[in-house]
A = this chain, B = another copy of it.
Amino acid sequence: MQEKVFEHLSSVFYPERVAVIGATDSPDRVGFNVFQSILEGGFTGRVYPVHPRHESILGQPVYKSIGEVPGPVDLAVICLNQHATVQAVESCGRLGVKGVLCHAGGYREMGDEGRELEMRLIATAQKYAMVLVGPNSLGLINNEGNFYSTFYPLQIPKGSVSLISQSGGMGLTIIHKALDEGMGINKFIGVGNCSTVGFADYLEYLGEDSGTSVIAVFMEGTADARRFALAAEKVAAKKPVVLLKAGRSPVSDYFTVTHTGSAAGSYRLYRDIFSQFGVYMADSAHDLVAACKGLSLLAPARSNRIGILTHTAGPSIVMADQLSEKGCVIPPLQESTISRVKEIIGEDPPVVLKNPLDAAGLGFARETFGWLAGAMLEDPGIDLLVAVYCLHKNWGLPSREIIEAQRQYGKPVVACYASHWEGCRDDRNILQNAGIPLYTTPEDACAAVAALVHHSKRGGRIRP
């Protein structure tokens, strides 16, 4: 990645002075929502609304043109139509604005005329060596500076997962799933048509970004899959990259070209190649969020040997099954562990002493569950433990016991509680604050484990 691109993307993600060109007072319009989003998001820099006819918007004074904004502008967010956007970019260039974020669609995804307009847009940005985000972009979020520059005003908890999305709608789907899962977001970028800055640039930028520990990507298609794969390999050696790729069916090019102007390409080819280059390939939005949450909370596993402790066999069977499919091993318990388990629950317990260890026959003491978790974590053949429990009105959930066992042995632990969202919200916060991701289905827990094992192997292979 060029120094220049990195520096300019820093201006985009960490601007100090932002102009919103086309800010307006109608809540129906993009220009209002972007301005409201930045203002109410708690942005720590300065924001200047620009509109030729308004005096004030949301109590803030409005500037007639970008030229009237005092001092240098780091980022201009352009909320105009596709034609006026090109002119605005020209004005910004002349004034030395470092970066522009263009929301308008109507470019190459709309046929030849739009393509020509997009070429003019690109030429203008290049003439002034400006970074151009979009066009056809939902916007961007940098939670580190409370910078919420999208036309969907929202607030999301801070975290270390950053998201690059070609689609605003899939970006929002993933962000809302993250809210449901209690997964914090660091940065979000809606890349749109990727006219001058591509997937690989954003990936490399986030690879260097200290606030980002995991990078999620939603991609429809890219003209430069080779550069993306090479960038991903470099980045994935440092931090996990999780990709959800559209375009599995042969007909999907037909759907994608008119969205962001990219053909989807062969899904299987993308999947296999990207996976070999270190990227973890997610199957769905659920899967992507489950994997990213796990990766952001868990330390790398030493290997792929998984222990499963459960209070109810079914989910552990689903898990052992799926993890075996995904290249994990569910090893037998070692003799020392079997002895330790017998010390805890007696010489002739109503439990089959194997992995998964199903403790249902033992009654429902949370304390015992915690001791058994410790015994399994002590097993030298187990690198990661999944602890499974069901929400119960009278018995509570063994979150503190699981946390204590994890602290004692230091290996990664994933929790899976059969529960509805509200029933486990407090426990989820307690567990996740302690670095233990909580899931409510065995499939989601598997996504986290599989992603962690994928990344750990990858790290293992690349590191000297």
Pick the residue among B249, B321, B441 that contacts A246 (CB under 8 A).
B321
Cα–Cα, bound, A180→B439 (Å):
14
Shortest Cβ distance from A393 into B: residue = B153
Cα–Cα, bound, A441→B167 (Å):
14
A64 CB within 8 Å of chain B: no
Q: Smallest Cβ distance from A224 to chain B, in angstroms?
A: 20
Shortest Cβ distance from A178 into B: residue = B420
Question: Contact between B177 and A440 (Cβ–Cβ < 8 Å)?
Answer: yes
Known contacts: A246-B318, A321-B246. The answer to whether A152 contacts B441 by CB under 8 A is: no
Pick the residue among B180, B324, B360, B395 that contacts A28 (CB under 8 A).
B395
A352 CB within 8 Å of chain B: yes
Most chain B CB atoms below 10 A, which of A28, A256, A420: A420
Cα–Cα, bound, A324→B316 (Å):
33
A226 CB within 8 Å of chain B: no
A194 CB within 8 Å of chain B: no
- Return the CB mask of A255-269 against B: 1 if under 8 Å, else 0: 110111000100000
Q: Which residues of B sit under 8 angstroms from A22, Cβ to Cβ?
A: none
Say what secondary structure dominates the interface of chain A. Answer: mixed
Q: Which residues of B sit under 8 angstroms from A264, Cβ to Cβ?
A: 317, 321
Q: Which A254-302 residues have C-beta < 8 A from chain B?
A: 255-256, 258-260, 264, 283-286
Question: Contact between A247 and B363 (Cβ–Cβ < 8 Å)?
Answer: no
Question: Contact between B419 and A356 (Cβ–Cβ < 8 Å)?
Answer: no
Known contacts: A252-B324, A317-B252, A325-B249. The answer to whether A286 contacts B441 by CB under 8 A is: yes
A168 CB within 8 Å of chain B: yes
Shortest Cβ distance from A323 into B: residue = B249
> 19 interchain pairs (CB within 8 A)?
A105-B360, A106-B350, A109-B352, A167-B313, A168-B314, A169-B418, A173-B440, A176-B391, A176-B423, A180-B421, A246-B317, A247-B321, A248-B325, A251-B324, A252-B324, A258-B313, A259-B313, A264-B321, A285-B441
Interface residues of A (CB under 8 A from B): 27-29, 32-33, 36, 105-106, 109-110, 152-154, 165-173, 176-177, 179-180, 218, 220, 246-252, 255-256, 258-260, 264, 283-286, 310-318, 320-322, 324-325, 330, 350, 352, 354, 356, 358, 360-361, 363-365, 388, 390-395, 418-421, 423, 440-444
